[in-house]
Amino acid sequence: MGLRKKRHEDAPAGPPHDWAVELHGVRRQYGRGGSAVHALRGIDLALPRGTFTAIMGPSGSGKSTFLQCAAGLDRPTAGTVHLGGTEITGLSENKLTALRRTRLGFVFQAFNLLPSLTVEQNVVLPMRLAGHRPDRRRAAEVLAQVGLADKARRRPGQLSGGQQQRVAIARALVTRPDVVFADEPTGALDTTTAAEILGLLRQAVDGLGSTVVMVTHDPAAAAWADRVLFLADGSIADRLERASAQQIAARMTALTAPAYAGAAA
Ligand SMILES: Nc1ncnc2c1ncn2[C@@H]1O[C@H](COP(=O)(O)OP(=O)(O)OP(=O)(O)O)[C@@H](O)[C@H]1O
Ligand SMILES: [Mg+2]
């Protein structure tokens, strides 16, 4: 079986965990020598299956690089990444592409739907790309889960931004992936619509047992997560569990202005 059970230093005492995402000593360096940029400086973490994690941090702290490495879109310079128990760091490009299509879901700020396809065709696209027969019953099921049962035959251009992002979430969930990676999924939406989208991601975790990893700049968005990991200069500088938007915002302020926070303490 692909399942890999293993203890991690972050794990609570008790039975071994079923980790959806594991990073061990992950480094990502751009360039070499004196001009090298250390985007990730040694990330160690393990995220339990069926949980919602937010990644925050100042601009340039390594959030996008982290997501790309964790999702197999970029290769770390050093260290290993496991997804759903499979080490992806050594996989060939073909195997990695196949794994991304069948076992990962992606949600982006810009929705990234294909305008010429219907909503239903967009949702089953991951199945088609993986060479499987599109499962229309499954498409109807996930579209109902995101509240778009009646929009299957529409085109993305006929939907609001929030509805388009719902389609993107349905597409991300259609293969029942090990992990859904979301990069600023609410960045282009107003506050009310953003809350609906975050509620859907929360519901995917609580109701369907999905694992969600979301990069966000917004403390209110991060407050929907079970935990927030704060990146600073390529390292995990802090973490909060079950925190409020206020607590998260305060921690972000401390991270971005450490000298000021230190002087005020
Ligand atoms: N392709 C690249 N070549 C060189 N340096 C890069 C490359 N991509 C990212 N970097 C650098 O790596 C560091 C981390 O970048 P990253 O994009 O991960 O930050 P981020 O936290 O996502 O920032 P933002 O909040 O602005 O999106 C930055 O110093 C950035 O300039
Ligand atoms: Mg970024």
> What average pLDDT does range 217-235 have in this prediction?
97
Q: Are 140 and 121 in contact (CB under 8 A)?
A: no
- For 150-195, write each residue's pLDDT tens digit: 999 999 999 999 999 999 999 999 999 999 999 999 999 999 999 9
Residue 6, pLDDT > 70, answer no
Whether the predicted model's global pTM rises above the 0.75 cut: yes
For domain 2-264, which CATH number applies: 3.30.1440.10, 3.40.50.300, 3.40.50.720, 3.100.10.10? 3.40.50.300
Q: Which residues contact 73 (CB under 8 A, 6 or more apart)?
A: 67, 100
Ligand 1 pocket check for 60: Cβ under 6 Å: yes
Give nearest CA residue, ligand 1 atom 3.
30
Ligand 1 pocket check for 64: Cβ under 6 Å: yes
Query: How far does Cα 80 stand from its chain's mean position?
Result: 18
pLDDT for the residue numbered 5? 44
Residue 2, pLDDT > 70, answer no
Of 113, 64, 84, 100, whose CA–CA distance to 18 is shortest? Answer: 84
Give nearest CA residue, ligand 1 atom 30.
60
CA 130 to ligand 1 center in whole angstroms: 30
Rounded Cα–Cα distance for residues 173 and 186 (Å)? 17
Ligand 1 pocket check for 36: Cβ under 6 Å: no
pLDDT band at 257 (very low <50, low <70, confident <90, very high): confident
Q: Judging by beta carbons within 10 Å of its beta carbon (0-12, 13-18, 19+), is residue 246 exposed, middle or buried?
A: exposed
> What average pLDDT does range 33-55 have in this prediction?
96
Domain definitions of the chain by residue range: 2-264
Give nearest CA residue, ligand 1 atom 1.
30
